[in-house]
Amino acid sequence: MQHYLCERITSANCLNEVFNYDELRERGRQDKKFHWAIEMNHASWMYISTYNGVDVADHNIKKWNIYYRTWKYWHSPKHHAFVLAIVVAYDMYKECCEGKFDFEWECAPISFWDFRHILSMQQLQYSPTKCMYPGDDRMRANTKLNKKKQSLSKRGEIPVSKFKKQRLLKTGRCCGDLDKLTHHAEKVITLKRGKICGYCGETTYKVCGICCDEKGSPIPLHYNSKDPKGNTKWLMCFNHYHNDNQFGLAKNDAVMMKTTKKDWYTPSTSNLKEHKEYVQDIIKKASL
């Protein structure tokens, strides 16, 4: 109590502009409940309501145990600021895990020790040449590079808000991870003779060099080809064939679906929606 009064007298009450007021306090229950008033001001109220956070921060700083003995006394305040930044980062991480900022971030937070281990690994693997943080471009690891490499390392960061907006928009450019589809597109082979497309059944001169049938032959698919019937639309057989939501709708899937290729027809929009829901249920049940 004496420590509290000394701090209050030497800090809050010594300000040039302090307006005191009476604050009501109460204690007890029912008939034994009594009230009294204490002297209070805004500066003192702020100190009383926030000094507990300083004690908690000091306790967490002690748990990090980051120090070493050295005659270079200026290292001590530097380490204190460094550890304080880590403690605040862990507190911010726990607030994000509560899901109050974004419901997609809600999860069970890891322990304090696991957070320290992961953070240490990230610090060891990070290089200032990535220029992800302010001041990295002035580090020695960057300044000793030639101008061409420095310009490559000084690429700007992707704005998270714009990236999230593109993901949420139906007409956005971000459509998920397409690396697998790109890998298939790089292996497309052009044929001298036409073959029957594995999706629509029309003639095509392109085959996917990765996808093969049961006999080991590449699957012919329309890739950047115009409709042979004279329509101005480009055929999307290559994309449809590699789409999870259309697995089972290709003409080659007729045997698997216990039908014949003669009975195959181009799926309509309603058929695509129903089949998409059916495939998504299979993925959830199989935990794929």
| pLDDT tens-digit series, residues 30-62 | 888 888 887 777 777 777 777 777 787 788 788
- The Cα–Cα gap between 11 and 45 comes to 12
8 A C-beta contact, residue 41 and residue 20 = yes
- The Cα–Cα gap between 210 and 188 comes to 8
Q: Residue 153: its pLDDT value, please?
A: 56
Helices 112-125 and 75-97 cross at an angle (nearest 10°) of 120
pTM: 0.48
Residues 6+ apart with CB under 8 A from 146: none
Q: Residue 2: its pLDDT value, please?
A: 46
Q: Residue 13: its pLDDT value, please?
A: 61
Neighbours of 173 (CB within 10 A): 8
Q: Residue 98: its pLDDT value, please?
A: 86
Nearest to 239 by CA among 271, 205, 198, 201: 198
| pLDDT tens-digit series, residues 224-237 | 777 666 564 667 88
pLDDT in tens, the chain (288 residues): 445 555 555 666 666 666 777 788 888 888 888 888 877 777 777 777 777 777 877 887 887 777 778 888 888 888 888 888 888 888 888 888 888 777 778 888 888 888 888 888 888 888 887 777 778 778 888 888 777 666 655 555 666 677 777 777 766 777 777 888 888 888 888 888 888 888 888 888 889 888 888 888 888 888 877 766 656 466 788 888 888 888 888 888 887 877 888 888 888 888 888 888 888 888 777 765
